[in-house]
Structure 1
Amino acid sequence: MRILIVEDEPTLGQQLKTTLEQTGYAVDLSADGEDGHFLGTTEEYDAVILDLGLPEIDGLTVLNMWRRDGKTFPVLVLTARDSWSDKVAGLDAGADDYLAKPFQTEELIARLRALIRRSTGNATSELVAGEVRLDTRSGRVTLDGEPVKLTAQEYKLLSYLMHHKGKVVSRTELIEHIYDQDFDRDSNTIEVFVTRIRKKLGSDVITTIRGLGYSLDDPADAPRG
């Protein structure tokens, strides 16, 4: 899952970026509204953390511009303002959640997980496909109840496919959502990660749809004869 943080406080922005990367997200960081708006318009994100008090263009204006342009990614508004009118303004502009500074990082991550879960139609933090389970809270992956160790990129790819279970996901979409902006995006590595995941979780866990991409399905959802 790929996250955009738009936060002009350098220390806080870098702390959030580092923490989210350690949690398993690909993260881009922007320090002003103009650059943040550009990234949100030109790149693909699963969620955005947006400060309201930004230089160049304020957060509310950025949010309004995104929504006007049809951008539907969930947005968590992050700001030092805590009056009810600011909360209403943020939500009316298209924010999906609101967190006032100071805050606990654990709460921000939990709210972020919930936003992504709702936006992808998942009801709980544990994603299930057959005997494979992925807990988005702990980052733990199990097969038949036994823990499976994945690399960071393998986890990101599996997590994205499990969030979009039953859908065909193209290589391009995977590249856009599991790598941050500065990563050397080589499409050939997607096949490498898929092969490694199959070796660890079973050859049939991810299906290749020739010419289209990949799909992860739950055997329990397959039609019965």
Structure 2
Amino acid sequence: MDTPEPAGDTILRIPLKSMGLRSGMALQTRRLVEGASKKEAQFFGAIEGKGVMVGPPGSDATQTGLEEGEVCVVRGFTGQYEFSFLSKVLQTFEKPFAYALLAYPAQVDAKKVRQSMRTKVSWPTQARPAGVAEDTPALDLMLVDISPAGAMVSSPATLGGIGDLVQLGMDVQFEDNPVRLQLTGSICHHNRAAGQDQFFVGLAFKNLSQNDKLVLHYLTQAQVPNA
């Protein structure tokens, strides 16, 4: 269970190495040129003081969307901090996989956003993109942890891009009564560790009803197993 710490809007200057980035962690990159759009990316690795390797998600990608000599902004979420930094593209590569080598930033701008403890669980859950018809087939996945503010799921797919909304459905026990929870979450981060088939997707709950909040508080405080 995570230890809760105060969250706020204060922007901190933090060394990149203290972010604890893991290979496969989802990022967004955007070239600092007029009309450039955000691109989904992932973190491959970094050598302190030398460079940061980022590339497109998917092993079959062939283009990074970045060009040597350009400056880009990189954004990500660690599960506790939202962070961003500016960097120059030192080189781009296509083999053995597509990635860009960025200049290593001494510090990044970071904002702590985790507000609640997470309770470790292992509950079958279903997910589908928010707003689609209710008869749209749902994806079966596993809830890994949960709090009144968000959750993490283990999924065979990414579920979408950063900021996309997902509808979660799960059966739980609330005071010995079965309850079907239907929750909307915004994707904050997703990553796949090397050698694993599953993606770990972090979600922040949106538009919770008073009943949703009550049930979530009960589940996380009482650590009640699901049905």
Fold-level similarity (TM above 0.5): no
Q: Give TM-score, length-normalised by structure 2.
A: 0.25
**Which one has a larger percent strand, Structure 1 or Structure 2?**
2
Q: Give TM-score, length-normalised by structure 1.
A: 0.25
**Which one has a larger percent helix, Structure 1 or Structure 2?**
1
